[in-house]
Amino acid sequence: MAEPRTFFEVSIAQAKITYSIEICVDALDECGEGTARALVADFERLVSRTTSRGPNSLNLCFSCRHYPILALECGRSIYVEKENHQNIRTYVGAQFERGISKSSEAQKLREEIVERASGVFQWVFLVIPKVLKLHQQGRNMNAIRKSIRQIPSELSNLYRSLLEDIPNDERPQSLLLMQ
């Protein structure tokens, strides 16, 4: 029996005779640097080997957070974190309309959140509930801004912080949920 990689390559080449193929690889950054590099190299080899086989196209799309260790030999790169500031601004505005005043201090807080997000929508999605909770608890805008500044800007550090904040008595249930 052929190795799965060889079977995959042969299948793609065969299918490409009749069909155009699009392969999407989502969350490439989640598999670790070594595996990500190997996958990209494997797919680049696949594209180069199958280009001349069959009349139809083979297109690849990798989605991942900005991962500077991946340099594609061909193709285009779109850095979503550079393109989605308006979407983040819109989302933050909509969330603020649900529960935070429209004062100039609130506007400064909105802008600070958008800026601190550095184009990472997930960061905003995780931080906004905390902002709304602090506001509902009666904290003033300066206290909320100070709290926001203490939240890690790096997404992996934010995840770590959120996990560390789980109360000890809730950790067994949380572990089960994550498993």
Amino acid at 37: R
Report which of 64, 58, 76 is spatially closest to residue 36, judged by C-alpha positions.
Answer: 64
Tens place of pLDDT for every residue, the chain, 179 residues? Answer: 458 888 888 888 888 888 889 999 888 878 888 888 888 888 888 888 777 666 678 888 888 876 655 666 666 777 777 788 899 999 999 998 877 777 788 889 999 999 999 888 899 999 999 999 999 999 988 899 999 999 998 888 888 888 888 899 998 888 888 77
What is the Cα–Cα distance from 137 to 98, expressed in whole angstroms?
A: 15
Query: Which pTM was predicted?
Result: 0.65
Is there a contact between 145 and 109 (Cβ–Cβ < 8 Å)?
yes
Q: How far apart are CA 108 and CA 131, in angstroms?
A: 13
Extract the tokens encoding 18: 């009749």
